[in-house]
Amino acid sequence: MSEVMKKIKACSYEMGDDCRCKRYKCFESVSLEERKRILKDFNNLCDYNRQNEYLGGLITIVPVKQRRNTKDDDEANFHTASYTYRVRCYVEGKLQDVHVCYKAFLAIHGISNRRVQTLKRKLTFSGVVGDDKRGKHDNRPHKLSVETKTEVFDYIKALKGRKSHYSPKDSSKVYLPEELNIKKLHRMYIYYIMSENPDNLVGYTTFREIFEQNFNISFGYPRKDTCSTCDLQKSEISLLERQIATCTEIETIMRLKKRS
C-alpha cells in the first residue's frame, strides 16, 4: 500500500455498531456527541503510528492472578494477562477515562480486531506498541524492481498527448483523447509488454498509482481550447447530419448535402 493510501485510510475510520454491553453499558456511558468527537480526533491524527500510540495508552494489561484448567500444566494453554479498555471523554464537563468493553473500544474508534490484537501482543512482550513496519523491510519478494518501474515510466511518457492552447506556457499538463482511461492504458501496456518483456508485468493498481502520482495527465481536451466559431461550425454540421439521416425526400437530401 502506498504512503498516500495509508494516510487516506488513517483519516477515514467509521464508527461501528452498538456493543449492547450489559456490564459497562458503553454506548450509554459515552454519549453520541462524545463518541463522534473521539472518532473525529482519532481520524485527525492521520498517522498510523500516532494512532497506535494513542490506542496503546488506552489499553491496560492486567496479570492473571488465578488459573483454572482441568488439563495438566504441560498441556494447558494459559493466558498470561487480560486487558481492560478505556476511552477519554467528557462526563459532566470533566475529561476522564471511562471503561468500555472490547467491542465498544473497536466500534468507537472504527478499528479492526486484528489491529488491536497486534497492539496487545506488542504491549505484552515489549511494553510499547512500536512503529508500523509494513512495507519497510527489504525482503519483499514482490517488490517492484527498478527495471520494471522504469518500463512503466517510459511507456507512459511515450504516450502522445497535447497541451492546452490557452494554458500557461510553463504548464506541464498533457491531455489524452477522452476515449481513453487508465484501465484502457493498462490493457494496452499489458499487450505491449507481453511481446517485449513478459516477466516485468505490473498489475492495474500499481500502474494506476504510478500514473496518478508521477504524471500530470488528463483525459479529454478542455472546452476552452475550442473557439466559438469552431463550436458553431461543429454544431451546424451535426444538425445537418441529423437532418440528412431523418429526411426521406431526395431533393431535400441533395440540398442539405450541398450545404454540409
Claim to verify: residue 158 and residue 91 sit in the same structural domain: no
138 domain-assigned: no
Claim to verify: residue 121 and residue 7 sit in the same structural domain: yes
Domain boundary among 94, 126, 158: 126
Q: Which domain holds residue 232?
A: 228-259
Interacting residues of 240 by C-beta distance below 8 A, sequence separation 6+: 256, 259, 260
Claim to verify: residue 158 and residue 116 sit in the same structural domain: no
The pTM score is: 0.50
108 domain-assigned: yes
239 domain-assigned: yes
pLDDT at 100 over 80: yes
Claim to verify: residue 182 and residue 241 sit in the same structural domain: no
Claim to verify: residue 30 and residue 85 sit in the same structural domain: yes
Residue 240's pLDDT is: 56
Claim to verify: residue 19 and residue 105 sit in the same structural domain: yes
Contact 129, 53 (CB under 8 A): yes
pLDDT at 182 over 60: yes
252 domain-assigned: yes
60 domain-assigned: yes
242 domain-assigned: yes
Residue 59's pLDDT is: 96
Domain boundary among 93, 126, 159: 126
Residue 76's pLDDT is: 46
Confidence of residue 129 (pLDDT cuts 50, 70, 90): confident
How many domains does the chain divide into? Answer: 3
